[in-house]
Amino acid sequence: MGLAVLGSVLGMAVTLLTGRVVGAVPDVINDAPGAMSLAGFSWLLAGLLVVFVVDSLQPAVQQVASLTMDAAVTREIGIGITRPLLGPRRIAHLEDTEVLNVQEQAKGKGGFHLAQGLSNLPWLLASRVTLVGSAVIVGVMFSWLVAALLFAVTIFLEWFTGKMVEREIDVWWGNTEEQRRAGYVFDLGMRDAPKELRVFGLNNWLVRRYVHEWNAGLRTVWERRHQNVYWSFLTGALHLAANGFAIVLVGRAALAGDLPLTQVATTVPAILAIGVSMNGYGVAQVRRGLSAYRAMEKLPGTIAERHPEPVVTSRHRVETMPAREIRFEKVSFRYPGSGHEVLRELDLTIHAHQALALVGVNGAGKSTLVKLLGGAYRPTSGRITVDGVDLAELDLAAWQRRVAAIVQDFLRFPLSVTDNVVFGAVERADDKAALAKVAREAGIDDVVRRLPSGWETVLDKTFDGGVDLSGGEWQRVALARALFAVQAGAGVLVLDEPAAALDVRAEAELVERYLELTSGVASLIISHRFSVVRNADRICVLAGGRIVEDGTHEQLLDQDGTYAAMFRLQAERYVTATLPEDPEGIDA
Ligand SMILES: Nc1ncnc2c1ncn2[C@@H]1O[C@H](COP(=O)(O)OP(=O)(O)OP(=O)(O)O)[C@@H](O)[C@H]1O
């Protein structure tokens, strides 16, 4: 900004010096009495040249400063958006359309970008300085009335341009959801689902869909911009007319002999400078950028207001919990914005040092129960207690550190194997012994040995030397991460479908080790594979939002209820699938 202001000051200095040089020429040539000496005139000319050269260099320096600022602003926007989104310990805000729209606006695109707005700010400031300075020059050299008129017209037209841009911004903000959809389709095409898109031949469909969504998001903005172009022509013409009128007045005064040459040669460039100082484009860009900035400012407040996090006042020692049990007491839950009650007055006790399995059909609410246990959502009614203390009263961040989990859609970090495992407890990242132990337990030591750079291999093919793992190998890495957290002291282990991608051998290994892996912690395993489930100390069946059966494998088979029916159905399918062809194979 300093450089831009300096540039405009230098520009005005050029105007003043040019006026003096032009004004002095006739007297110096004619050697008139009282005229400037030739040496003095040469110094004046040299001064003009120096100021002119420095003024010409200024934009290049400004460009470098602008690029540096751009990089810094882009970084700050990244921090300004991700920090408030990652801050809350719950996740309901990540599914809230209002929050997502504000986030989209804060990210900025299509010209509505904070960095773009900021890069125009110095130029806008410089044009303001030029406007004020040039108006003063016109006032001193010619007429304060004309100066005031030009100043007022310029400010009014800029204000008018700003108003038009505001209307465009309103349209833009009204279409954020469409733009978010376009962004999603774009990301899908870039990375998320390359294989399925090709298998189903969806590449052209995706491009068309992207164009459609993008147009839907921007059409009304373009229409508004289109209308604004006519207004821009009109405001430009008006400004030109005002400046032309002022120049005519200067010309008339000069012809009438009322205005000396120096004044004429200074006033005319000053009027022209006012002419180019009207920066409608700068006003538009700064205001658009400002709208993104306001959204960024608004984001933390929107999240805090719509999804307040509890202020913890109690001082329970979360680090040793659960010593006895976790209880769901008449817990009901429906997702925000949904009318469907997933859990209905559910009662369940998970004892410390006990391996509990949860079974139920698709959509029964098993993963939802895990999310409530981890404090990602609050129950709609009822409560969850840990050793008798309401989860809502605990320090949620500390509680979440107590819970180690493989969730169904676990994260696949495009980082080294080490990082992928130690992220279970980053504070213990240097514990090599624990790393080796969990690698053995999760069965990834063989996988790591085969990798080109062992533990340091990056698990993403798009990086140099990176590799991709199979689904089952990834699942074992996720298991290792959860076990690393347990090694570091987590007191609850949640395994949501830990065997979904495992082959028969890996599954058998997991089953064999299951009780060993879960000893010493309260554990909850969710699986549709009864081979995994049957080994748990206790099994609960979730149906209709409640626990409908509770007992050991044998007890539940004796009850001959839902569990027994599900178990037999799965067992039968294995038997009937192989028996007729290869009875020996089953024994084997
Ligand atoms: N974020 C969400 N917003 C709204 N509804 C959701 C959300 N996640 C899940 N649901 C709904 O909640 C119900 C329970 O889903 P949940 O994932 O807990 O089932 P599940 O028992 O784990 O199923 P599965 O065996 O298929 O993994 C389903 O009807 C699902 O559509």
User: What integer pLDDT is reported at residue 149 of this predicted model?
Assistant: 93
**Can you state the percent helix, strand and coil of the chain, rounding each to 5?**
65, 10, 25
User: What integer pLDDT is reported at residue 203 of this predicted model?
Assistant: 82
Q: Is the CB of 360 under 6 A from ligand 1?
A: yes
> How many whole angstroms from 367 Cα to the centroid of ligand 1?
7
Protein residue with least CA distance to atom 24, ligand 1: 362
Protein residue with least CA distance to atom 31, ligand 1: 363
User: What integer pLDDT is reported at residue 255 of this predicted model?
Assistant: 92
DSSP string covering 563-585, please?
A: HHHHHHHHHHHHHHHHTTT-HHH
Q: Is the CB of 367 under 6 A from ligand 1?
A: yes
Q: Please give the model's pTM, rounded to 2 decimal places.
A: 0.74
Beta carbons within 8 Å of 12's beta carbon, 6+ residues apart: 130, 133, 134, 137, 270, 273
User: What integer pLDDT is reported at residue 582 of this predicted model?
Assistant: 46
User: What integer pLDDT is reported at residue 297 of this predicted model?
Assistant: 93
> How many whole angstroms from 364 Cα to the centroid of ligand 1?
7
What's the CATH architecture for 324-587? 3-Layer(aba) Sandwich (3.40)
User: What integer pLDDT is reported at residue 336 of this predicted model?
Assistant: 85
Beta bridge partners of 543: 546
Protein residue with least CA distance to atom 6, ligand 1: 335
Q: Is the CB of 269 under 6 A from ligand 1?
A: no
User: What integer pLDDT is reported at residue 163 of this predicted model?
Assistant: 85
Q: Is the CB of 169 under 6 A from ligand 1?
A: no
**H helices of 188-327, where?**
194-199, 203-255, 261-277, 280-306
CA-to-CA distance for 108 and 529, rounded, in angstroms? 46
User: What integer pLDDT is reported at residue 586 of this predicted model?
Assistant: 42
> How many whole angstroms from 451 Cα to the centroid of ligand 1?
36
Q: Is the CB of 342 under 6 A from ligand 1?
A: yes
The total of other beta-carbon atoms located within 10 Å of residue 18's CB is 18
Tokens 């999310």 sit on residue: 371
User: What integer pLDDT is reported at residue 579 of this predicted model?
Assistant: 46
Give the orientation angle of helix 280-306 with respect to helix 38-86, to 10 degrees. Answer: 20
pLDDT digits (tens, 9 = 90+) for 534-552: 888 899 999 999 999 999 9
User: What integer pLDDT is reported at residue 110 of this predicted model?
Assistant: 65
Q: Is the CB of 339 under 6 A from ligand 1?
A: no
CA-to-CA distance for 55 and 15, rounded, in angstroms? 12
From 96, 331, 335, 369, mutation site for ligand 1 pocket: most ligand atoms within 8 A of C-beta: 335
From 368, 372, 380, mutation site for ligand 1 pocket: most ligand atoms within 8 A of C-beta: 368
DSSP string covering 10-66, please?
A: HHHHHHHHHHHHHHHHHHHHHT-TTPPPHHHHHHHHHHHHHHHHHHHHHHHHHHHHH
Chain-centre distance for alpha carbon 223:
28
> How many whole angstroms from 365 Cα to the centroid of ligand 1?
6
Q: Is the CB of 117 under 6 A from ligand 1?
A: no
> How many whole angstroms from 105 Cα to the centroid of ligand 1?
29
User: What integer pLDDT is reported at residue 192 of this predicted model?
Assistant: 56
> How many whole angstroms from 366 Cα to the centroid of ligand 1?
8
Protein residue with least CA distance to atom 27, ligand 1: 362
pLDDT digits (tens, 9 = 90+) for 397-450: 889 889 988 887 888 898 999 999 999 888 888 888 888 889 988 888 888 898
What kind and span of H or E run contains 178?
helix 176-187
- pLDDT (tens, 9 = 90+) of the chain, 588 residues, equals 888 888 889 988 998 899 888 888 888 888 878 778 888 889 999 999 999 999 888 888 888 888 888 888 889 888 999 999 998 888 888 888 889 889 888 887 766 788 888 888 888 888 889 999 999 999 999 999 999 999 999 989 888 888 888 788 778 777 777 777 888 888 887 765 677 788 788 888 888 998 998 888 888 888 888 888 888 889 889 989 999 999 999 999 999 988 888 889 899 999 998 988 877 778 878 888 888 899 999 999 999 999 888 777 667 788 888 888 999 999 999 998 888 999 999 999 999 888 899 998 889 999 999 999 988 899 999 999 999 888 888 888 889 889 988 887 888 898 999 999 999 888 888 888 888 889 988 888 888 898 988 889 999 888 888 888 888 899 889 989 999 998 888 889 898 887 777 777 777 777 777 777 777 788 898 988 888 888 888 999 999 999 999 999 999 999 988 889 888 888 777 665 554 454 444 443
Number of helices and strands in the chain (H, E): 21, 10
User: What integer pLDDT is reported at residue 575 of this predicted model?
Assistant: 61
> How many whole angstroms from 334 Cα to the centroid of ligand 1?
10
Domain boundaries, the chain: 64-306, 324-587
From 328, 366, 407, mutation site for ligand 1 pocket: most ligand atoms within 8 A of C-beta: 366
Class in CATH terms, 64-306: mainly alpha
User: Backbone dihedral region of 454: left (phi > 0), alpha (psi from -120 to 50 degrees) or beta?
Assistant: left
Protein residue with least CA distance to atom 3, ligand 1: 335
| Alpha-carbon dihedral sign for residues 45, 46, 49, 51 | negative
Shortest-distance atom of ligand 1 to CA 338: 4
> How many whole angstroms from 450 Cα to the centroid of ligand 1?
37
CA-to-CA distance for 374 and 89, rounded, in angstroms? 9
